[in-house]
Structure 1
Amino acid sequence: MKKTFIALLFLMSTVAYGQSAFAKAEQLFKAEKFDKAQIAFTKLYEQDHSDLDVIERLGDIASHQNNFEKAMGYYKKLIDSNSKSARYNFKYGGAMGLYAKSSSKLKALGMLDDIKKHLKKAAELDPKHIESRHALSQLYCELPGIVGGSISKSRSYADQLIKISPVDGHLAHGYIDEYEEEYDDAVVSYQKAVDTGGSLLTYRKLASIYQHKLNDDKKALETLKKASLKHIDTQLKADILSLESKIEMND
Protein backbone atom coordinates (compact mmCIF):
# COMPACT_ATOMS: atom_id res chain seq x y z
CA MET A 1 0.00 0.00 0.00
CA LYS A 2 2.78 2.37 0.99
CA LYS A 3 4.75 1.59 -2.17
CA THR A 4 1.65 2.11 -4.31
CA PHE A 5 0.99 5.47 -2.66
CA ILE A 6 4.60 6.57 -3.18
CA ALA A 7 4.46 5.48 -6.82
CA LEU A 8 1.24 7.43 -7.38
CA LEU A 9 2.69 10.45 -5.62
CA PHE A 10 5.75 10.31 -7.85
CA LEU A 11 3.58 9.96 -10.94
CA MET A 12 1.43 12.94 -9.95
CA SER A 13 4.47 15.10 -9.24
CA THR A 14 5.98 14.13 -12.59
CA VAL A 15 2.77 15.04 -14.42
CA ALA A 16 2.53 18.32 -12.50
CA TYR A 17 6.15 19.10 -13.36
CA GLY A 18 5.49 18.33 -17.01
CA GLN A 19 2.45 20.58 -17.07
CA SER A 20 4.36 23.37 -15.35
CA ALA A 21 7.32 23.00 -17.71
CA PHE A 22 4.99 23.06 -20.72
CA ALA A 23 3.26 26.20 -19.43
CA LYS A 24 6.62 27.96 -19.03
CA ALA A 25 7.73 26.86 -22.50
CA GLU A 26 4.40 28.05 -23.92
CA GLN A 27 4.88 31.46 -22.29
CA LEU A 28 8.25 31.79 -24.01
CA PHE A 29 6.66 30.82 -27.33
CA LYS A 30 3.83 33.33 -27.01
CA ALA A 31 6.36 36.01 -26.07
CA GLU A 32 8.13 35.16 -29.36
CA LYS A 33 11.31 34.16 -27.51
CA PHE A 34 11.73 31.31 -29.93
CA ASP A 35 15.33 30.35 -29.13
CA LYS A 36 14.53 29.92 -25.44
CA ALA A 37 11.22 28.24 -26.24
CA GLN A 38 13.03 25.79 -28.49
CA ILE A 39 15.35 24.76 -25.66
CA ALA A 40 12.41 24.33 -23.27
CA PHE A 41 10.28 22.30 -25.68
CA THR A 42 13.27 20.19 -26.75
CA LYS A 43 13.78 19.15 -23.13
CA LEU A 44 10.12 18.16 -22.92
CA TYR A 45 10.43 16.23 -26.18
CA GLU A 46 13.43 14.33 -24.86
CA GLN A 47 11.28 13.24 -21.90
CA ASP A 48 8.33 12.15 -24.05
CA HIS A 49 8.69 11.64 -27.80
CA SER A 50 4.95 11.02 -28.15
CA ASP A 51 3.65 14.35 -26.80
CA LEU A 52 1.88 15.81 -29.85
CA ASP A 53 1.52 19.28 -28.31
CA VAL A 54 5.28 19.48 -27.79
CA ILE A 55 5.99 18.16 -31.29
CA GLU A 56 3.60 20.71 -32.78
CA ARG A 57 5.26 23.58 -30.94
CA LEU A 58 8.72 22.48 -32.08
CA GLY A 59 7.38 22.55 -35.63
CA ASP A 60 5.87 25.99 -35.05
CA ILE A 61 9.17 27.29 -33.68
CA ALA A 62 11.09 25.93 -36.67
CA SER A 63 8.56 27.67 -38.95
CA HIS A 64 9.03 30.99 -37.14
CA GLN A 65 12.78 30.53 -37.60
CA ASN A 66 12.20 29.95 -41.35
CA ASN A 67 13.60 26.43 -41.03
CA PHE A 68 10.76 24.87 -43.00
CA GLU A 69 12.55 21.62 -43.71
CA LYS A 70 12.90 21.02 -39.98
CA ALA A 71 9.30 22.08 -39.41
CA MET A 72 8.17 19.54 -42.00
CA GLY A 73 9.86 16.79 -40.00
CA TYR A 74 7.91 17.64 -36.86
CA TYR A 75 4.61 18.14 -38.68
CA LYS A 76 5.08 14.80 -40.48
CA LYS A 77 5.14 13.13 -37.05
CA LEU A 78 1.79 14.77 -36.31
CA ILE A 79 0.32 13.56 -39.60
CA ASP A 80 1.58 10.03 -38.93
CA SER A 81 -0.15 10.15 -35.55
CA ASN A 82 -3.42 11.73 -36.74
CA SER A 83 -3.97 12.17 -40.47
CA LYS A 84 -7.54 13.38 -39.87
CA SER A 85 -6.52 16.65 -38.23
CA ALA A 86 -7.18 19.69 -40.42
CA ARG A 87 -4.65 21.71 -38.42
CA TYR A 88 -1.90 19.13 -38.83
CA ASN A 89 -2.53 18.80 -42.58
CA PHE A 90 -2.50 22.57 -43.01
CA LYS A 91 0.74 23.02 -41.09
CA TYR A 92 2.47 20.19 -42.95
CA GLY A 93 1.26 21.36 -46.36
CA GLY A 94 2.04 24.98 -45.52
CA ALA A 95 5.58 24.17 -44.37
CA MET A 96 6.12 22.14 -47.53
CA GLY A 97 4.92 25.05 -49.63
CA LEU A 98 7.23 27.54 -47.96
CA TYR A 99 10.15 25.11 -48.19
CA ALA A 100 9.40 24.61 -51.89
CA LYS A 101 9.55 28.38 -52.48
CA SER A 102 13.18 28.43 -51.37
CA SER A 103 14.09 25.26 -53.29
CA SER A 104 14.99 24.71 -56.92
CA LYS A 105 12.15 24.81 -59.43
CA LEU A 106 12.60 21.11 -60.14
CA LYS A 107 12.42 20.17 -56.47
CA ALA A 108 9.44 22.46 -55.88
CA LEU A 109 7.62 20.90 -58.82
CA GLY A 110 8.17 17.45 -57.32
CA MET A 111 6.58 18.59 -54.05
CA LEU A 112 3.59 20.32 -55.60
CA ASP A 113 1.16 17.38 -55.53
CA ASP A 114 1.83 16.72 -51.84
CA ILE A 115 1.42 20.40 -51.00
CA LYS A 116 -1.96 20.50 -52.73
CA LYS A 117 -2.97 17.19 -51.19
CA HIS A 118 -2.47 18.28 -47.59
CA LEU A 119 -3.88 21.78 -48.00
CA LYS A 120 -6.96 20.42 -49.76
CA LYS A 121 -7.36 17.74 -47.10
CA ALA A 122 -7.27 20.40 -44.38
CA ALA A 123 -10.01 22.32 -46.20
CA GLU A 124 -12.09 19.16 -46.66
CA LEU A 125 -11.71 18.04 -43.04
CA ASP A 126 -12.77 21.43 -41.71
CA PRO A 127 -15.39 23.28 -43.80
CA LYS A 128 -14.56 26.46 -41.88
CA HIS A 129 -10.76 26.24 -42.00
CA ILE A 130 -9.67 29.72 -43.04
CA GLU A 131 -5.89 29.33 -43.31
CA SER A 132 -5.95 26.38 -45.72
CA ARG A 133 -8.29 28.23 -48.08
CA HIS A 134 -6.08 31.32 -47.96
CA ALA A 135 -3.08 29.15 -48.82
CA LEU A 136 -4.89 27.38 -51.67
CA SER A 137 -6.17 30.66 -53.09
CA GLN A 138 -2.65 32.09 -53.07
CA LEU A 139 -1.12 28.88 -54.43
CA TYR A 140 -3.43 28.66 -57.45
CA CYS A 141 -3.00 32.39 -58.06
CA GLU A 142 0.80 32.24 -58.14
CA LEU A 143 1.30 28.93 -59.97
CA PRO A 144 1.86 29.11 -63.74
CA GLY A 145 -0.99 27.59 -65.71
CA ILE A 146 1.29 24.91 -67.13
CA VAL A 147 1.69 23.34 -63.67
CA GLY A 148 -1.89 23.74 -62.54
CA GLY A 149 -2.23 27.41 -61.72
CA SER A 150 -5.72 28.78 -62.14
CA ILE A 151 -7.17 32.18 -61.32
CA SER A 152 -10.68 30.72 -61.39
CA LYS A 153 -9.72 28.12 -58.76
CA SER A 154 -8.00 30.85 -56.77
CA ARG A 155 -11.20 32.91 -56.90
CA SER A 156 -13.29 29.91 -55.87
CA TYR A 157 -11.34 29.53 -52.63
CA ALA A 158 -11.63 33.28 -52.04
CA ASP A 159 -15.40 32.92 -52.50
CA GLN A 160 -15.43 30.11 -49.94
CA LEU A 161 -13.61 32.41 -47.55
CA ILE A 162 -16.22 35.13 -47.98
CA LYS A 163 -18.87 32.69 -46.73
CA ILE A 164 -16.74 31.69 -43.73
CA SER A 165 -15.06 35.00 -42.90
CA PRO A 166 -16.00 37.91 -45.20
CA VAL A 167 -12.95 40.01 -44.35
CA ASP A 168 -10.59 37.13 -45.22
CA GLY A 169 -12.46 36.57 -48.47
CA HIS A 170 -12.15 40.22 -49.50
CA LEU A 171 -8.45 40.18 -48.63
CA ALA A 172 -7.98 37.06 -50.75
CA HIS A 173 -9.77 38.65 -53.70
CA GLY A 174 -7.65 41.78 -53.22
CA TYR A 175 -4.51 39.66 -53.37
CA ILE A 176 -5.65 38.11 -56.65
CA ASP A 177 -6.59 41.53 -58.09
CA GLU A 178 -3.17 42.85 -57.13
CA TYR A 179 -1.37 39.83 -58.58
CA GLU A 180 -3.30 40.28 -61.83
CA GLU A 181 -2.39 44.00 -61.79
CA GLU A 182 -6.06 44.96 -61.64
CA TYR A 183 -5.35 47.70 -59.13
CA ASP A 184 -8.70 49.49 -59.28
CA ASP A 185 -10.39 46.18 -58.50
CA ALA A 186 -7.90 45.64 -55.69
CA VAL A 187 -8.95 48.98 -54.19
CA VAL A 188 -12.57 47.82 -54.23
CA SER A 189 -11.69 44.48 -52.61
CA TYR A 190 -9.49 45.99 -49.91
CA GLN A 191 -12.06 48.71 -49.20
CA LYS A 192 -14.62 45.96 -48.63
CA ALA A 193 -12.15 44.33 -46.24
CA VAL A 194 -11.79 47.64 -44.38
CA ASP A 195 -15.55 48.11 -44.20
CA THR A 196 -16.10 44.52 -43.08
CA GLY A 197 -13.27 44.00 -40.62
CA GLY A 198 -11.46 47.28 -40.07
CA SER A 199 -8.25 45.70 -38.81
CA LEU A 200 -4.98 47.57 -39.21
CA LEU A 201 -3.95 45.02 -41.83
CA THR A 202 -6.92 45.89 -44.05
CA TYR A 203 -6.12 49.60 -43.90
CA ARG A 204 -2.47 48.93 -44.70
CA LYS A 205 -3.38 46.76 -47.69
CA LEU A 206 -5.58 49.53 -49.08
CA ALA A 207 -3.01 52.25 -48.40
CA SER A 208 -0.28 50.19 -50.05
CA ILE A 209 -2.27 49.89 -53.27
CA TYR A 210 -2.84 53.64 -53.38
CA GLN A 211 0.78 54.47 -52.64
CA HIS A 212 2.77 51.82 -54.48
CA LYS A 213 0.52 50.78 -57.36
CA LEU A 214 -1.61 53.84 -58.14
CA ASN A 215 0.98 56.46 -57.07
CA ASP A 216 -1.64 58.29 -55.04
CA ASP A 217 0.14 59.32 -51.85
CA LYS A 218 -2.72 61.55 -50.72
CA LYS A 219 -5.23 58.70 -50.83
CA ALA A 220 -2.74 56.50 -49.02
CA LEU A 221 -2.30 59.15 -46.33
CA GLU A 222 -6.05 59.58 -46.00
CA THR A 223 -6.40 55.82 -45.51
CA LEU A 224 -3.66 55.65 -42.88
CA LYS A 225 -5.16 58.59 -41.00
CA LYS A 226 -8.52 56.82 -40.90
CA ALA A 227 -6.72 53.77 -39.54
CA SER A 228 -5.12 55.87 -36.80
CA LEU A 229 -8.58 56.83 -35.53
CA LYS A 230 -9.23 53.18 -34.72
CA HIS A 231 -5.78 51.79 -34.03
CA ILE A 232 -3.01 53.00 -31.74
CA ASP A 233 0.23 51.92 -33.36
CA THR A 234 3.68 53.50 -33.16
CA GLN A 235 4.74 52.40 -36.64
CA LEU A 236 1.47 53.69 -38.09
CA LYS A 237 2.15 57.15 -36.65
CA ALA A 238 5.66 57.09 -38.09
CA ASP A 239 4.36 56.08 -41.52
CA ILE A 240 1.82 58.92 -41.48
CA LEU A 241 4.51 61.47 -40.62
CA SER A 242 6.79 60.09 -43.32
CA LEU A 243 4.06 60.26 -45.95
CA GLU A 244 3.05 63.77 -44.91
CA SER A 245 6.65 64.88 -45.28
CA LYS A 246 6.90 63.28 -48.72
CA ILE A 247 3.71 64.99 -49.92
CA GLU A 248 4.87 68.40 -48.62
CA MET A 249 8.17 68.04 -50.47
CA ASN A 250 6.41 67.18 -53.72
CA ASP A 251 3.82 69.99 -53.53
Structure 2
Amino acid sequence: MKNLLLLLLCPLTMFSQLNIESIDAFFNKKQYNKAEIILKNHLKQDRENQEALEFLGDAYAYQEQWENAKTIYEKLVRLNSTNANYHYKYGGSLGMIALQNKFKAIAYVGDIKEAFLTAAKLDENHINTRWALVELYMQLPAIFGGSSSKALAYANELEALSKVDGYLAKGYVYEYDDKPELAETFYKKAITEGGSLVCFEKLTTFYEKSNKPEKAIKNLEKAHQKHPRNALHYQIGKVSAQYNIALQKGEHCLKVYLKNYSAEDGVPKAWANYRLAQIHYHKQNKEQALKYIELAIAELPKIDVFKIHKQNILKL
Protein backbone atom coordinates (compact mmCIF):
# COMPACT_ATOMS: atom_id res chain seq x y z
CA MET A 1 0.00 0.00 0.00
CA LYS A 2 2.83 2.39 0.88
CA ASN A 3 4.54 1.74 -2.48
CA LEU A 4 1.27 2.32 -4.33
CA LEU A 5 0.88 5.66 -2.57
CA LEU A 6 4.39 6.70 -3.63
CA LEU A 7 3.63 5.78 -7.25
CA LEU A 8 0.46 7.83 -7.19
CA LEU A 9 2.25 10.85 -5.73
CA CYS A 10 5.20 10.66 -8.13
CA PRO A 11 3.45 12.22 -11.17
CA LEU A 12 2.20 15.09 -9.02
CA THR A 13 5.71 15.77 -7.73
CA MET A 14 7.13 15.67 -11.24
CA PHE A 15 4.40 18.02 -12.46
CA SER A 16 5.17 20.53 -9.74
CA GLN A 17 8.82 20.74 -10.77
CA LEU A 18 9.70 23.37 -13.33
CA ASN A 19 11.54 21.89 -16.30
CA ILE A 20 14.20 24.57 -16.78
CA GLU A 21 15.82 22.81 -19.74
CA SER A 22 12.59 22.79 -21.75
CA ILE A 23 11.99 26.48 -21.00
CA ASP A 24 15.55 27.35 -21.99
CA ALA A 25 15.11 25.37 -25.21
CA PHE A 26 12.01 27.36 -26.15
CA PHE A 27 13.79 30.64 -25.33
CA ASN A 28 16.82 29.66 -27.43
CA LYS A 29 14.48 28.95 -30.36
CA LYS A 30 12.62 32.23 -29.70
CA GLN A 31 9.42 30.24 -29.17
CA TYR A 32 8.34 32.47 -26.31
CA ASN A 33 4.63 31.75 -26.74
CA LYS A 34 5.24 28.03 -26.16
CA ALA A 35 7.30 28.75 -23.06
CA GLU A 36 4.49 31.04 -21.89
CA ILE A 37 1.92 28.21 -22.07
CA ILE A 38 4.09 25.82 -20.03
CA LEU A 39 4.86 28.49 -17.42
CA LYS A 40 1.21 29.48 -17.01
CA ASN A 41 0.23 25.85 -16.48
CA HIS A 42 2.97 25.40 -13.92
CA LEU A 43 1.95 28.57 -12.03
CA LYS A 44 -1.59 27.23 -11.65
CA GLN A 45 -0.10 24.68 -9.27
CA ASP A 46 2.63 26.86 -7.77
CA ARG A 47 1.43 30.47 -7.93
CA GLU A 48 4.41 32.08 -6.20
CA ASN A 49 7.26 30.16 -7.81
CA GLN A 50 9.69 33.03 -8.41
CA GLU A 51 11.73 31.20 -11.02
CA ALA A 52 8.63 30.43 -13.09
CA LEU A 53 7.33 33.97 -12.65
CA GLU A 54 10.60 35.50 -13.82
CA PHE A 55 10.65 33.25 -16.88
CA LEU A 56 7.06 34.23 -17.65
CA GLY A 57 7.85 37.93 -17.28
CA ASP A 58 10.80 37.46 -19.63
CA ALA A 59 8.60 35.59 -22.13
CA TYR A 60 6.17 38.51 -22.13
CA ALA A 61 9.06 40.98 -22.48
CA TYR A 62 10.53 39.16 -25.49
CA GLN A 63 7.08 39.32 -27.10
CA GLU A 64 6.90 43.05 -26.23
CA GLN A 65 3.82 42.48 -24.09
CA TRP A 66 5.00 45.11 -21.65
CA GLU A 67 1.84 45.47 -19.57
CA ASN A 68 1.83 41.74 -18.86
CA ALA A 69 5.56 41.80 -18.14
CA LYS A 70 5.09 44.72 -15.74
CA THR A 71 2.40 42.82 -13.81
CA ILE A 72 4.67 39.80 -13.37
CA TYR A 73 7.79 41.77 -12.41
CA GLU A 74 5.76 43.87 -9.97
CA LYS A 75 4.57 40.66 -8.29
CA LEU A 76 8.17 39.45 -8.06
CA VAL A 77 9.21 42.71 -6.37
CA ARG A 78 6.45 42.17 -3.80
CA LEU A 79 7.51 38.56 -3.23
CA ASN A 80 11.21 39.36 -2.92
CA SER A 81 11.97 43.04 -2.41
CA THR A 82 15.72 42.41 -1.94
CA ASN A 83 16.28 40.99 -5.42
CA ALA A 84 18.00 43.66 -7.53
CA ASN A 85 17.19 41.95 -10.81
CA TYR A 86 13.45 42.02 -10.11
CA HIS A 87 13.55 45.78 -9.50
CA TYR A 88 15.64 46.26 -12.65
CA LYS A 89 13.22 44.28 -14.81
CA TYR A 90 10.21 46.02 -13.29
CA GLY A 91 11.74 49.42 -14.03
CA GLY A 92 12.59 48.30 -17.54
CA SER A 93 9.05 47.18 -18.29
CA LEU A 94 7.70 50.50 -17.02
CA GLY A 95 10.22 52.29 -19.23
CA MET A 96 9.11 50.42 -22.32
CA ILE A 97 5.46 51.26 -21.59
CA ALA A 98 6.46 54.89 -21.12
CA LEU A 99 8.19 54.92 -24.51
CA GLN A 100 4.96 53.80 -26.16
CA ASN A 101 2.60 56.09 -24.25
CA LYS A 102 3.56 59.71 -23.49
CA PHE A 103 0.75 60.12 -20.97
CA LYS A 104 1.90 57.12 -18.97
CA ALA A 105 5.49 58.29 -19.28
CA ILE A 106 4.82 61.25 -17.01
CA ALA A 107 3.06 59.08 -14.44
CA TYR A 108 5.74 56.39 -14.48
CA VAL A 109 8.90 58.53 -14.23
CA GLY A 110 9.04 58.34 -10.43
CA ASP A 111 8.44 54.59 -10.33
CA ILE A 112 11.04 53.95 -13.03
CA LYS A 113 13.70 55.94 -11.17
CA GLU A 114 12.82 54.27 -7.86
CA ALA A 115 13.04 50.79 -9.38
CA PHE A 116 16.45 51.38 -10.97
CA LEU A 117 17.88 53.20 -7.96
CA THR A 118 16.70 50.42 -5.66
CA ALA A 119 18.33 47.82 -7.89
CA ALA A 120 21.57 49.81 -7.88
CA LYS A 121 21.58 50.02 -4.08
CA LEU A 122 20.79 46.33 -3.66
CA ASP A 123 23.55 45.20 -6.00
CA GLU A 124 26.69 47.32 -6.28
CA ASN A 125 27.85 45.21 -9.22
CA HIS A 126 24.66 45.30 -11.31
CA ILE A 127 25.95 46.58 -14.66
CA ASN A 128 22.61 46.61 -16.53
CA THR A 129 20.97 48.78 -13.87
CA ARG A 130 23.73 51.36 -14.11
CA TRP A 131 23.40 51.40 -17.88
CA ALA A 132 19.66 51.96 -17.46
CA LEU A 133 20.32 54.88 -15.09
CA VAL A 134 22.81 56.43 -17.53
CA GLU A 135 20.21 56.33 -20.32
CA LEU A 136 17.38 57.44 -18.05
CA TYR A 137 19.15 60.54 -16.75
CA MET A 138 20.28 61.50 -20.25
CA GLN A 139 16.84 61.10 -21.83
CA LEU A 140 14.72 62.65 -19.10
CA PRO A 141 13.99 66.38 -19.42
CA ALA A 142 15.56 68.44 -16.62
CA ILE A 143 12.11 69.15 -15.17
CA PHE A 144 11.75 65.41 -14.43
CA GLY A 145 15.24 65.04 -13.02
CA GLY A 146 17.29 64.56 -16.17
CA SER A 147 20.95 65.34 -15.58
CA SER A 148 24.13 64.64 -17.53
CA SER A 149 26.16 64.94 -14.33
CA LYS A 150 24.11 62.15 -12.70
CA ALA A 151 24.46 60.09 -15.86
CA LEU A 152 28.23 60.55 -15.76
CA ALA A 153 28.27 59.52 -12.10
CA TYR A 154 26.74 56.17 -13.03
CA ALA A 155 29.07 55.93 -16.04
CA ASN A 156 31.94 56.25 -13.55
CA GLU A 157 30.42 53.44 -11.48
CA LEU A 158 30.23 51.36 -14.65
CA GLU A 159 33.87 52.09 -15.41
CA ALA A 160 34.83 50.80 -11.96
CA LEU A 161 32.98 47.54 -12.72
CA SER A 162 33.94 47.24 -16.39
CA LYS A 163 36.20 49.69 -18.22
CA VAL A 164 34.62 48.86 -21.57
CA ASP A 165 31.09 49.55 -20.30
CA GLY A 166 32.28 52.72 -18.61
CA TYR A 167 33.93 54.03 -21.77
CA LEU A 168 30.89 53.17 -23.89
CA ALA A 169 28.59 54.85 -21.37
CA LYS A 170 30.70 58.00 -21.36
CA GLY A 171 30.77 58.00 -25.15
CA TYR A 172 26.98 57.78 -25.11
CA VAL A 173 26.66 60.62 -22.58
CA TYR A 174 29.00 62.94 -24.47
CA GLU A 175 27.38 62.10 -27.81
CA TYR A 176 23.92 62.85 -26.38
CA ASP A 177 25.32 66.03 -24.80
CA ASP A 178 26.64 67.21 -28.19
CA LYS A 179 30.31 66.87 -27.30
CA PRO A 180 31.50 64.87 -30.32
CA GLU A 181 35.24 65.06 -29.62
CA LEU A 182 34.83 63.53 -26.17
CA ALA A 183 32.32 60.97 -27.48
CA GLU A 184 34.77 59.82 -30.17
CA THR A 185 37.59 59.63 -27.61
CA PHE A 186 35.68 57.32 -25.30
CA TYR A 187 34.30 55.13 -28.08
CA LYS A 188 37.88 54.65 -29.28
CA LYS A 189 38.99 53.85 -25.72
CA ALA A 190 36.30 51.15 -25.60
CA ILE A 191 37.67 49.62 -28.80
CA THR A 192 41.23 49.69 -27.44
CA GLU A 193 40.14 48.19 -24.13
CA GLY A 194 37.67 45.58 -25.35
CA GLY A 195 37.70 45.48 -29.13
CA SER A 196 34.37 43.68 -29.41
CA LEU A 197 32.08 44.10 -32.40
CA VAL A 198 29.72 46.09 -30.18
CA CYS A 199 32.49 48.62 -29.52
CA PHE A 200 33.20 49.01 -33.23
CA GLU A 201 29.46 49.28 -33.99
CA LYS A 202 29.02 52.11 -31.47
CA LEU A 203 31.80 54.14 -33.09
CA THR A 204 30.52 53.39 -36.61
CA THR A 205 27.00 54.53 -35.69
CA PHE A 206 28.46 57.66 -34.10
CA TYR A 207 30.36 58.49 -37.29
CA GLU A 208 27.25 57.93 -39.40
CA LYS A 209 25.16 60.20 -37.18
CA SER A 210 27.94 62.79 -37.32
CA ASN A 211 27.93 62.64 -41.14
CA LYS A 212 31.47 61.25 -41.28
CA PRO A 213 31.07 58.29 -43.66
CA GLU A 214 34.79 58.08 -44.51
CA LYS A 215 35.62 57.50 -40.85
CA ALA A 216 32.75 55.03 -40.58
CA ILE A 217 34.15 52.94 -43.43
CA LYS A 218 37.68 53.00 -42.01
CA ASN A 219 36.33 51.88 -38.65
CA LEU A 220 34.37 49.05 -40.29
CA GLU A 221 37.50 47.93 -42.12
CA LYS A 222 39.40 47.83 -38.81
CA ALA A 223 36.53 45.85 -37.30
CA HIS A 224 36.74 43.35 -40.15
CA GLN A 225 40.46 42.90 -39.60
CA LYS A 226 39.77 41.84 -36.01
CA HIS A 227 36.39 40.19 -36.60
CA PRO A 228 36.25 38.76 -40.15
CA ARG A 229 32.47 38.62 -40.33
CA ASN A 230 30.63 38.69 -43.64
CA ALA A 231 28.03 41.06 -42.15
CA LEU A 232 30.68 43.80 -42.06
CA HIS A 233 30.92 43.66 -45.85
CA TYR A 234 27.27 44.68 -45.99
CA GLN A 235 27.84 47.51 -43.51
CA ILE A 236 30.66 48.95 -45.59
CA GLY A 237 28.53 48.71 -48.73
CA LYS A 238 25.60 50.33 -46.97
CA VAL A 239 27.64 53.37 -45.90
CA SER A 240 29.11 53.66 -49.38
CA ALA A 241 25.66 53.56 -51.00
CA GLN A 242 24.01 55.93 -48.54
CA TYR A 243 26.68 58.61 -48.70
CA ASN A 244 27.82 58.17 -52.32
CA ILE A 245 31.46 57.60 -51.39
CA ALA A 246 34.05 54.89 -52.14
CA LEU A 247 31.62 53.36 -54.63
CA GLN A 248 34.04 50.77 -56.03
CA LYS A 249 34.86 49.55 -52.54
CA GLY A 250 31.19 49.50 -51.61
CA GLU A 251 30.23 47.52 -54.70
CA HIS A 252 33.01 44.99 -54.08
CA CYS A 253 31.98 44.49 -50.44
CA LEU A 254 28.33 43.99 -51.31
CA LYS A 255 29.19 41.39 -53.96
CA VAL A 256 31.39 39.56 -51.44
CA TYR A 257 28.51 39.70 -48.97
CA LEU A 258 26.10 38.16 -51.48
CA LYS A 259 28.60 35.49 -52.52
CA ASN A 260 29.24 34.38 -48.93
CA TYR A 261 25.74 35.02 -47.60
CA SER A 262 24.20 32.85 -44.91
CA ALA A 263 21.17 33.34 -42.67
CA GLU A 264 23.54 34.10 -39.77
CA ASP A 265 24.57 37.34 -41.51
CA GLY A 266 21.25 38.84 -40.50
CA VAL A 267 20.54 41.30 -43.33
CA PRO A 268 18.55 39.67 -46.19
CA LYS A 269 20.17 39.56 -49.63
CA ALA A 270 17.44 41.88 -50.91
CA TRP A 271 18.96 44.76 -48.95
CA ALA A 272 22.40 44.10 -50.40
CA ASN A 273 20.88 44.20 -53.90
CA TYR A 274 19.11 47.44 -52.98
CA ARG A 275 22.44 48.95 -51.90
CA LEU A 276 24.02 47.82 -55.18
CA ALA A 277 21.14 49.51 -57.01
CA GLN A 278 21.88 52.70 -55.07
CA ILE A 279 25.56 52.54 -56.00
CA HIS A 280 24.79 52.10 -59.70
CA TYR A 281 22.25 54.91 -59.46
CA HIS A 282 25.01 57.17 -58.15
CA LYS A 283 27.14 56.03 -61.10
CA GLN A 284 24.26 56.89 -63.48
CA ASN A 285 24.27 53.26 -64.63
CA LYS A 286 20.55 52.77 -65.25
CA GLU A 287 20.70 49.22 -66.60
CA GLN A 288 22.66 47.80 -63.66
CA ALA A 289 20.66 49.80 -61.15
CA LEU A 290 17.42 48.34 -62.53
CA LYS A 291 18.89 44.84 -62.47
CA TYR A 292 19.67 45.00 -58.76
CA ILE A 293 16.50 46.78 -57.68
CA GLU A 294 14.42 44.14 -59.49
CA LEU A 295 16.29 41.45 -57.57
CA ALA A 296 15.57 43.27 -54.32
CA ILE A 297 11.86 43.65 -55.10
CA ALA A 298 11.56 40.02 -56.21
CA GLU A 299 12.84 38.85 -52.83
CA LEU A 300 10.97 41.36 -50.64
CA PRO A 301 8.10 42.77 -52.73
CA LYS A 302 6.41 44.62 -49.83
CA ILE A 303 9.31 46.98 -49.02
CA ASP A 304 8.17 50.44 -50.13
CA VAL A 305 11.65 51.98 -50.22
CA PHE A 306 12.62 49.49 -52.96
CA LYS A 307 9.66 50.54 -55.11
CA ILE A 308 10.36 54.23 -54.57
CA HIS A 309 14.00 53.77 -55.56
CA LYS A 310 12.94 51.92 -58.71
CA GLN A 311 10.91 54.96 -59.76
CA ASN A 312 13.94 57.18 -59.22
CA ILE A 313 16.09 54.86 -61.34
CA LEU A 314 13.54 54.94 -64.16
CA LYS A 315 13.92 58.73 -64.28
CA LEU A 316 17.64 58.49 -65.10
1:96 aligns with 2:94: yes
Q: TM-score, normalised by structure 2?
A: 0.72
Contact 1:22 1:44 in 2 (8 A): no
1:130 aligns with 2:116: no
Aligned to 1:210: 207
Ranges in structure 2 where 5+ consecutive residues have no aligned partner: 248-281, 284-316
Q: Evaluate the alpha carbon distance shift between residue 192 and residue 52 of structure 1 in structure 2; reply closer, same or farther with a 3 A threshold.
A: same
- Give the letter for the 1:92 counterpart: Y
In structure 1, distance between residues paired with 2:90 and 2:125: 18
- Give the letter for the 2:121 counterpart: E
Q: Aligned-pair distance for 1:145? A: 0.8
Aligned to 1:114: 111
Q: Aligned-pair distance for 1:31? A: 2.5
In structure 2, distance between residues paired with 1:226 and 1:18: 53
Q: Aligned-pair distance for 1:178? A: 1.4
Q: Aligned-pair distance for 1:223? A: 1.1
In structure 1, distance between residues paired with 2:17 and 2:223: 41
Q: Evaluate the alpha carbon distance shift between residue 125 and residue 15 of structure 1 in structure 2; reply closer, same or farther with a 3 A threshold.
A: same
Deviation string for 1:115-142 (max 9, x for gaps)? 1111111000111000111111111111
Contact 1:158 1:169 in 2 (8 A): yes
Deviation string for 1:44-99 (max 9, x for gaps)? 22332222111111111111122211101000111111000001111111111111
Deviation string for 1:156-175 (max 9, x for gaps)? 00000000111111111111
In structure 1, distance between residues paired with 2:100 and 2:85: 23
Deviation string for 1:140-190 (max 9, x for gaps)? 111111111111101100000000111111111111111112222111111
Q: Evaluate the alpha carbon distance shift between residue 20 and residue 139 of structure 1 in structure 2; reply closer, same or farther with a 3 A threshold.
A: closer
Aligned to 1:228: 224
Q: Evaluate the alpha carbon distance shift between residue 10 and residue 186 of structure 1 in structure 2; reply closer, same or farther with a 3 A threshold.
A: farther
- Give the letter for the 2:217 counterpart: L
Q: Evaluate the alpha carbon distance shift between residue 13 and residue 146 of structure 1 in structure 2; reply closer, same or farther with a 3 A threshold.
A: same
- Give the letter for the 2:200 counterpart: Y
Aligned to 1:43: 41
- % same residue: 36
1:156 aligns with 2:137: no
In structure 1, distance between residues paired with 2:193 and 2:239: 26
Aligned to 2:71: 73
Equivalent runs, 1:23-38 vs 2, <5 Å: 23-38=21-36
User: Which structure has more RCO (C-alpha within 8 Å, separation ≥ 6)?
Assistant: 1
Q: TM-score, normalised by structure 1?
A: 0.90
In structure 2, distance between residues paired with 1:15 and 1:236: 51
In structure 2, distance between residues paired with 1:48 and 1:177: 48
Name the SS of the counterpart of 2:89 in structure 1. helix
In structure 2, distance between residues paired with 1:109 and 1:7: 58
Equivalent runs, 1:52-71 vs 2, <5 Å: 52-71=50-69
In structure 1, distance between residues paired with 2:12 and 2:192: 51
Name the SS of the counterpart of 1:247 in structure 2. coil
Name the SS of the counterpart of 2:246 in structure 1. helix
Contact 2:91 2:112 in 1 (8 A): yes
2:140 maps to which of 136, 140, 143: 143
In structure 1, distance between residues paired with 2:230 and 2:53: 35
1:176 aligns with 2:173: yes
Q: Evaluate the alpha carbon distance shift between residue 43 and residue 234 of structure 1 in structure 2; reply closer, same or farther with a 3 A threshold.
A: farther
Name the SS of the counterpart of 2:215 in structure 1. helix
